[in-house]
């Protein structure tokens, strides 16, 4: 899916605006100032997306074509819903024929064509409820889940990697053959066991950092393409390739 160029401010809002509220802490003022001057934030408002994160998915898709032909999509850690908006559009999901299921422990406003679960993905009932909500076998599982940050880099990395691993196991259990899996991770190294799992089950595994991801952010995305299909125990060889490459 192609995206328009960000060559200018198409919202009519002036870039370089300063936040003048005196009661804000300096750090809060800097964050707010960066946010309102962010061209991706302005594009999201202009194009009707709930968050700038929409462009991360669109940019990844522009290079890797994971949305093309998608029939059913499961969105993990979906709030506020910009990825689900895209998923509903590409699948043609409607209220009469739900093809997108989204889950988050945060409340989400309704999105036409999206079955929304306000539930922790680690809840034992969550996987089956997602399958029931999507109405069939998904061919794309996307995850923007991240654990609440503590400020301690190693702790934050491990907690988010755990969510990534659980999402990967879920994808292997539910995806249709040929399907794809995309999940947020943090710079600092992807766990070897996770890479081994993905490379045993997918034809290609890459790390991606889209342009819409802020330069100072440590987030990256782990993309596994071309699910090989579920194997019986006798089919597993245990062989893996080298570490995931960057893209």
Q: What is the pLDDT of residues 81-124, one digit of tens each?
A: 999 999 999 999 999 999 999 999 999 999 999 999 999 999 99
Claim to verify: residue 35 and residue 140 sit in the same structural domain = no
Range of the domain at 196: 51-246
State the total domains in the chain: 2
- How much is the pTM? 0.79
Residue 6 is assigned to a structural domain of this protein? no
Alpha-carbon span 104 to 123, nearest angstrom: 11
Bridge partners of 118, per DSSP, are 104
Residues 108 and 181 reside in one and the same domain:
yes
Per-residue pLDDT of the chain (247 residues; tens, 9 = 90+): 444 433 333 334 444 444 445 565 654 555 445 545 567 788 878 888 999 899 999 999 999 999 999 999 999 999 999 999 999 999 999 999 999 999 999 999 999 999 999 999 999 999 999 999 999 999 999 999 988 777 777 777 788 889 999 999 999 999 999 999 999 987 666 678 899 999 999 999 999 999 888 776 778 899 999 999 987 654 544 444 444 555 5
60/42 same-domain check: no
97 with 84, same domain: the answer is: yes
* 197 lies in the same domain as 231: yes
User: Are 108 and 212 contained in the same domain?
Assistant: yes
Separation of alpha carbons 42 and 221, rounded Å: 23
Residue 191 Cα distances to 38, 141, 195, 207, angstroms: 32, 20, 7, 13
Give the chain's end-to-end CA distance (angstroms, integer): 17
Q: Mind listing the pLDDT tens digit for each residue in 52-65?
A: 899 999 999 999 99
Just list the catalytic residues.
184
> In this structure, are 61 and 154 located in the same domain?
yes
Domain of residue 207, CATH code: 3.40.50.150
Residue 149 vs residues 109, 157, 161: alpha-carbon distances, Å: 24, 9, 12
Span 200-214, pLDDT tens digits: 999 999 999 998 887
């Amino acid at each position: 899916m192609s995206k328009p160029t960000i060559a200018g401010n198409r919202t009519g809002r002036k870039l370089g605006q300063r936040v003048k509220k005196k009661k804000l802490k300096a750090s809060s003022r800097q964050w707010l100032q960066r946010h309102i001057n962010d061209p991706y934030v302005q594009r999201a408002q202009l194009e009707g997306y709930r968050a700038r994160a929409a462009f991360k998915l669109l940019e990844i898709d522009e290079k890797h074509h994971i949305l093309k032909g998608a029939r059913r999509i499961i969105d993990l850690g979906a709030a506020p819903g910009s990825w689900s908006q895209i998923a509903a559009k590409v699948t043609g999901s409607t209220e009469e024929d739900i093809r997108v299921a989204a889950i988050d422990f945060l409340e989400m406003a309704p999105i036409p064509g999206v079955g929304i679960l306000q539930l922790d993905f680690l809840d034992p009932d969550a996987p089956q409820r997602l399958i029931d909500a999507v109405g069939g076998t998904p061919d794309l599982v996307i995850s923007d889940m991240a654990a609440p940050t503590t400020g301690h880099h190693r702790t934050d990395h491990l907690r988010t990697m755990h969510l990534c691993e659980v999402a990967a196991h879920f994808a292997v259990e539910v995806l249709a053959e040929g399907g794809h899996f995309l999940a947020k991770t943090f710079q600092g190294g992807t766990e070897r066991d996770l890479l081994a799992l993905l490379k045993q089950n997918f034809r290609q595994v890459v790390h991606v950092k889209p342009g819409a991801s802020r330069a100072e952010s440590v987030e990256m995305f782990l993309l596994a393409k071309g699910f090989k299909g579920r194997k019986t125990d006798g089919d597993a060889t245990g062989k893996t390739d080298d570490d995931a490459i960057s893209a």
